[in-house]
Amino acid sequence: MGFVVTVGGNRVDCAADQTLLDACLRAGVWMPNSCNQGTCGTCKFRVLSGEVDHGASPLQTLTEEERAAGLALACQARPVTDLEMPSPGPSGRAVHPLRDLVATVLEVSDIARDTRRVTLGLAEPLAFEAGQYIELVVPGSGERRQYSLANTADEDKVLELHVKRVAGGVATDRWIFEGLAPGDRVEASGPLGDFHLPPAADDDGGPMVLVGGGTGLAPLVGLARTALRRHPERQLLLYHGVRGAADLYDLERFAELAERYPHFRFEPVLSEEPDAAYRRGFPTDAFLEDVPSARGWSGWLCGPPPMVQAGVKAFKRRRMAPRSIHRENFTPADALGDPDT
């Protein structure tokens, strides 16, 4: 059984057991989306007519008052009747339809403390934008976990993921760090997320600052490389915040970027385990020390919510326009009662 969902004049067919976001993205109809776990509220919309089942929508993200007022989370809600939804507005960005994938594991390697690089080979290329992510299906559990792509859009047949181990995690401790090996087949879907650059035609080459916490560095790798290829003379600062030097990785990759692009700078920052070779503190504080004014800059933040919140405040303090601040929270799955990331 299925229902017809009208989104700003676009017809989308949605199965009864399918979320509205999944149906829209598979149909190539853009809707804002980020965490896809119901925790961020990015995909909140108003039901103009019809009814939905709110599913597992958390009350802290979608209150009873909001539900009564006709609001819903597209990543959690499923239709129980035909629906009409307003247009979410033009995204101004490319829309790549959501696809199911079967990938082959090419590499699983330790790159830092409790951190692994996983590369996946695809039989057919996946169209995506640098900064987006995919979902992996955890075998035997029915669980799905989100991992950002460290790729540029032209690296569309070998996908690179950075995975941080979480004690007891369904996907990490019990799978990726337990026995995942080259040659294994992995089910996935993607691309997802709105954390990506504007189209090249709208990119004026203005200065950028990117701040990543832990494996929040992953999408910033693709964003930075894409931005520098578009405008090789662009000023671009990339900060990586971690606990200690054992958590740093890909230093050679960033050294090579610095050699190739004269106005690119990579700044590792250690918060808990000092090392004379690196700066001490938090990456957002390092940004405040380095940049007296960020007027005309764009800012990109990816990592734990407290770091992202601190970054937003730091960017605004340096007069960055709010519309130029982009963020991606890495929300652990244990926020929903299941320990993993």
The residue range of the domain holding 311 is 200-329
**Which one-letter amino acid corresponds to residue 118?**
V
| Predicted pLDDT at 90 | 58
Same domain, 54 and 123: no
Are 138 and 171 within 8 A, CB to CB?
yes
pLDDT at 87 (0 to 100): 84
Q: Based on the domain organization, do 134 and 239 belong to the same domain?
A: no
Question: Do 64 and 123 share a structural domain?
Answer: no
In angstroms, the CA 178 to CA 167 distance is 11
d(CA 82, CA 340): 35
- Read off the pLDDT of residues 90-134 as tens digits, 9 standing for 90 and up: 554 457 999 999 999 999 999 999 999 999 999 999 999 999 999
Determine the Cα–Cα distance for residues 18 and 75; give it in Å rounded to an integer.
Answer: 9
- CATH number for the domain spanning 237: value is 3.40.50.80
67 and 24 both lie in a single domain: yes
159 and 187 both lie in a single domain: yes
The CATH number linked to 67 is 3.10.20.30
Measured CA to CA, the distance from residue 190 to residue 25 in angstroms comes to: 9
Q: Which of 56, 85, 114 is the last residue of a domain?
A: 85
Whether residue 336 is contained in a domain is answered as no
Q: What residues in the chain have per-residue pLDDT under 70? A: 89-94, 331-341
Same domain, 9 and 122: no
Whether residue 120 sits in one domain with residue 70: no
Domain boundary pick from 85, 113, 128: 85
Q: Is residue 91 part of a domain?
A: no
- Is position 295 within any domain? yes
CA distance 328 to 214: 13
Alpha-carbon torsion angle 107, 335, 222, 310, nearest 10: -140
- How many whole angstroms separate alpha carbon 77 and alpha carbon 46? 11
- Do 157 and 230 share a domain, yes or no? no
Q: What is the CA radius of gyration of the chain?
A: 20
Number of domains in the chain: 3
pLDDT at 24: 92
Last residue of a domain, one of 85, 111, 139: 85
Q: Is residue 174 part of a domain?
A: yes
Residues 64 and 112 in one domain: no
Shared domain for 161 and 282, answered yes or no, is no
Q: Where are the beta strands (DSSP E) in the chain?
A: 2-7, 10-15, 44-46, 52-53, 71-73, 78-79, 83-85, 99-112, 115-122, 133-137, 144-148, 158-164, 185-192, 208-213, 236-242, 264-270, 279-280, 298-303, 325-329
Residues 137 and 69 in one domain: no
Residue 88 near residue 173, CB atoms below 8 Å: no
Q: Is residue 334 part of a domain?
A: no
DSSP 314-340: HHHHTT--GGGEEEEE---GGGGTS--
Q: Within a domain: residue 256?
A: yes
Query: Is residue 93 one of the residues assigned to a domain?
Result: no
Answer yes or no: is 338 within a domain. no
